[in-house]
Amino acid sequence: MKKGYNLLLICLLISIHAMAQIAKTQVIRISATANADGSITLTWPYENFAGNYDIYKRLNQQTQNWGSAPIASIAGTFNQYKDVAVKEGEAFEYQIVKRQGSTNVALGYIYAGNAFPEPKQYPAVILLIDSNFRLPLSTQINQLQADLYKEGYVLYIDYAGRGEAVNSVRNRVKAIYQNALIKPASLFILGHVPVPYSGYYSSNSETPPPDGHVEGSGNHTGAWPADVVYGILGNGLTDDWVDCKTGSQPRNYNVVGDGKFDQSKLPSEAVLEVGRVDLFNMPAFKKSDTALTAAYLDRNHAWRTGVWKVQERALVDNNFASLNLASTGYANFAALVGSNLTYDTLDYITAQKKGSYLWSYGCGAGSYTNCNGIGSTTSFVNDSFENVFTILAGSFFGDWDVQNNLLRAPIASKSLASFWGGIPKWYVHHMGLGERIGKGTQISQNNTNFYFSGQFNLSENSMHIALMGDPTLRMKNLPAVSNLSAISENKVVKLLWSPVSEPGLGYAVYLVDTLSNTFYRLNDVPETGTTYNHDKNYVTGNYQYAVRAIKLETGASGTYFNAGGAAYARVNHINGTQEKLVQTIQVSCYPNPIINQQNLTVDVQLVQSNAIATSLYSMEGKLLLQQNFEEARVGLNQININMARQNPGIYLLKIASGSSSHVQKIVVQ
């Protein structure tokens, strides 16, 4: 084992340009086109290849299964495949394996869709904020909260002191998750919140340092920063057996009971998508971390509201021709902007000074503050260039909790996200259909062998894998709708909002279930004007509506509906004057939620004898079921309602008797 990673270390220390660019040849750079008939065409650069391309299709994003056999196997002289088993509104993930006989020559992945709809249900976000920022950054933090709320997220906020123990902070994160009604998907760490360390990276263990610098060859051994600790909510993290003090820096020492964890690999899956913006100890920028973080949050707001725009193209500056590190750039960029808009003959800094890039990748022999052939931390201080997402790879700077660290330099300058990609490979291709960058972070951390890891120094599924930046960032953004008003009049809810100035937009209108944070779309076809009348809400009650700008985006992964931030409005809706009368019934419904198609029992207490009418509605206001009970009496009446035909979801049950009525939310699981 030691010989293997020492050989890779030699390659890391010396940039080689004369050899073939294996990072480009060992991946299949897949893009996708959504066709008018609903199908999807996958395309990749042409080769006159003597073998075959085997194409696999993942039918369920919740299970790691490519199927037992490919859906197609085509000759190497072809460079596209049309999947006709897709219809509008669907998206699937594909794996293509390039095979020469029984040998896998290259692999590629894409998540492709055809008019894939915007999400209907939104998770929560935990904002874990450095308590030093509570007052000086209150304006920017409030703006971030407002942006996330408009995008549909529920927010949980906690402040952490810089001197707190990691376990204390982690336990609070776990408690927030466990007690949350709407489960968080993301954890956004803002500031110098205590940094977890974990790992036994050493030639004396089963896992060498990810960059290969074992004892005697750089001594980058011991424990590295490991923000994934905050995303692992299960058991398995320990601090009771590693004893390693061979690292060149004492902060990497790992001994029993020191608060650093033993594990080099994730002991259980990361549940949360974790990202951090920590600009502490970056004196090269000659600004405080408070000022640098304020500037980051201002850029974040401009990006996620569609104000900041860049050219949708990518750049790869590969100074490791003999290694496959840069394939992280090549493979992802094909699905994100297309191979035709990915440039790999340009210098990382020189090119970006001449024009903006959505994505960039640079790798070379490295130190904590320098990457050979790319630049140094001072390059990000002194040069003015623009990208939103950047990927860097080379020795040392993946260990980011150090002064003037190169991996954090981009987000202290003009970028919004940065990560150490290639050691191991990262997979962020889902962003091509509007997903968060945090999803790709989580996928890359949890990956063992479902996606090809690159097999670099056993770095896959390792505790060091981390995102510098906001995990909720998406690749394309629209302006938010504003000034939404809602009026209930003559059994109709009338909505009115201000127009958004952006070409090609329509408006999606939603009824929002605040209990589950689900957005029920009311208009199948986007509105072109700024008004909407909802005349199918037959149940009196207090409702929340939302309107957001929506646009069919066409990109390198097909087409999807992109939604901007929502404007919200509440209204007390009256469906008839008789329902304003004093309620004289009491209702109890159980079980709620309903599991395994159980019957719903409704206990109705009456103070006067009247017939009871029950009506079950969808959240969109559609009447699904109606029953009348003429033999009701004063006191307790028990009614059974058959829910076997109702799909999982949330419903409204209206119980009416005489001039009184009651509305109850019913959950079917």
Tell me, yes or no, whether 441 and 516 share the same domain. no
Tell me, yes or no, whether 461 and 328 share the same domain. yes
Tell me, yes or no, whether 524 and 610 share the same domain. no
Predicted confidence at residue 597, as pLDDT, reads 62
- Give the pLDDT band of residue 19 (cuts 50, 70, 90): very low
Please report whether residue 252 resides in a domain.
Answer: no
**Is the pLDDT score of 3 beyond 60?**
no
Radius of gyration of the chain (CA): 28
Tell me, yes or no, whether 88 and 111 share the same domain. yes
CB 242, CB 436: distance < 8 Å: no
Under 8 Å CB-to-CB from 434, ≥6 apart: which residues?
Answer: 116, 118, 474, 475, 476, 553, 560, 562
Helices (H) and strands (E) in the chain, counts: 10, 35
Closest CA to 588 of 603, 605, 606: 603
Q: What is the mean pLDDT of residues 419-430?
A: 97
- Give the pLDDT band of residue 20 (cuts 50, 70, 90): very low
Residue carrying structure tokens 């002194």: 382
| Residue span of the structural domain in which 365 resides | 2-117+310-469
3-state secondary structure of 174: helix
Predicted confidence at residue 15, as pLDDT, reads 33
CB 328, CB 362: distance < 8 Å: no
What's the pLDDT tens digit per position in 214-231?
999 999 999 999 999 999
Spatial separation of the C-alpha atoms in residues 108 and 30, rounded to whole Å: 6
- Give the pLDDT band of residue 4 (cuts 50, 70, 90): very low
Residue carrying structure tokens 């419904």: 589
Q: Which residue has the higher pLDDT, 316 or 596?
A: 316
Predicted confidence at residue 339, as pLDDT, reads 97
Instruction: Choose one of 556, 573, 590: the last residue of a domain.
Output: 573
- Give the pLDDT band of residue 17 (cuts 50, 70, 90): very low
Please report whether residue 17 resides in a domain.
Answer: yes
Tell me, yes or no, whether 463 and 321 share the same domain. yes
Please report whether residue 169 resides in a domain.
Answer: no
Please report whether residue 513 resides in a domain.
Answer: yes
Report the alpha-carbon angle 10-11-12, nearest 5: 90
- Residue 653 tokens, joined: 């049950």
**Is the pLDDT score of 659 beyond 90?**
no
What's the pLDDT tens digit per position in 257-304?
999 999 999 999 999 999 999 999 999 999 999 999 999 999 999 999
Q: What is the mean pLDDT of residues 347-370?
A: 97
What's the pLDDT tens digit per position in 527-537?
999 999 999 88
Q: Is 237 left (phi over 0), alpha (psi -120 to 50) or beta?
A: beta
Q: Which residue has the higher pLDDT, 222 or 658?
A: 222
- Give the pLDDT band of residue 665 (cuts 50, 70, 90): confident
Report the alpha-carbon angle 225-320-391, nearest 5: 45
Highest mean pLDDT among 383-392, 600-609, 646-655, 658-667: 383-392
Q: Is the dihedral of CA 204, 209, 214, 219 positive or negative?
A: negative
Interstrand relation of 103-116 and 558-573 (parallel, antiparallel or unpaired):
parallel
Predicted confidence at residue 592, as pLDDT, reads 78
Q: What is the mean pLDDT of residues 328-345?
A: 98
Spatial separation of the C-alpha atoms in residues 220 and 215, rounded to whole Å: 7
Predicted confidence at residue 620, as pLDDT, reads 74
Please report whether residue 451 resides in a domain.
Answer: yes
Give the relative orientation of helices 138-150 and 289-304 as an angle to the nearest 10 degrees: 30
Spatial separation of the C-alpha atoms in residues 14 and 55, rounded to whole Å: 37
Predicted confidence at residue 306, as pLDDT, reads 96
Query: Which CATH number goes with the domain that contains 511?
Result: 2.60.40.10
Tell me, yes or no, whether 464 and 316 share the same domain. yes
Predicted confidence at residue 578, as pLDDT, reads 38
DSSP state of 24: H
Tell me, yes or no, whether 326 and 458 share the same domain. yes
Report the 10 Å Cβ neighbour count for 240: 8
- Give the pLDDT band of residue 396 (cuts 50, 70, 90): very high
CB 311, CB 355: distance < 8 Å: yes
**Is the pLDDT score of 7 beyond 90?**
no
Tell me, yes or no, whether 537 and 664 share the same domain. no
Residue carrying structure tokens 């040069």: 383
Instruction: Choose one of 573, 593, 616: the last residue of a domain.
Output: 573
Query: Which CATH number goes with the domain that contains 659?
Result: 2.60.40.1930
- Give the start-end residues of each E strand in 271-401: 273-277, 314-318, 342-343, 357-363, 370-371, 375-376, 387-393
Tell me, yes or no, whether 430 and 551 share the same domain. no
Lowest mean pLDDT across 78-87, 359-368, 566-575: 566-575
Please report whether residue 456 resides in a domain.
Answer: yes
Predicted confidence at residue 51, as pLDDT, reads 95
Q: What is the mean pLDDT of residues 616-640?
A: 84
In Å, what is the CA distance from 346 to each residue of 320, 354, 373, 394? 15, 11, 11, 19
The count of residues in the chain is 669
Tell me, yes or no, whether 47 and 71 share the same domain. yes
Q: What is the mean pLDDT of residues 326-334?
A: 97
Instruction: Choose one of 551, 573, 595: the last residue of a domain.
Output: 573
- Give the start-end residues of each E strand in 416-491: 417-420, 467-469, 482-489
Q: Is the dihedral of CA 329, 333, 335, 340 positive or negative?
A: negative
Averaged confidence pLDDT in the chain: 92
Long-range contact list for 621-629, CB < 8 A, 24+ apart?
621/511, 621/534, 621/536, 621/537, 621/538, 621/539, 622/536, 623/538, 624/651
**Is the pLDDT score of 575 beyond 90?**
no
Lowest mean pLDDT across 115-124, 534-543, 598-607: 598-607
Q: What is the mean pLDDT of residues 60-76?
A: 96
Tell me, yes or no, whether 421 and 523 share the same domain. no
3-state secondary structure of 4: helix
Tell me, yes or no, whether 335 and 435 share the same domain. yes
Tally of domains within the chain = 3
Spatial separation of the C-alpha atoms in residues 161 and 144, rounded to whole Å: 20
Please report whether residue 272 resides in a domain.
Answer: no
Please report whether residue 265 resides in a domain.
Answer: no
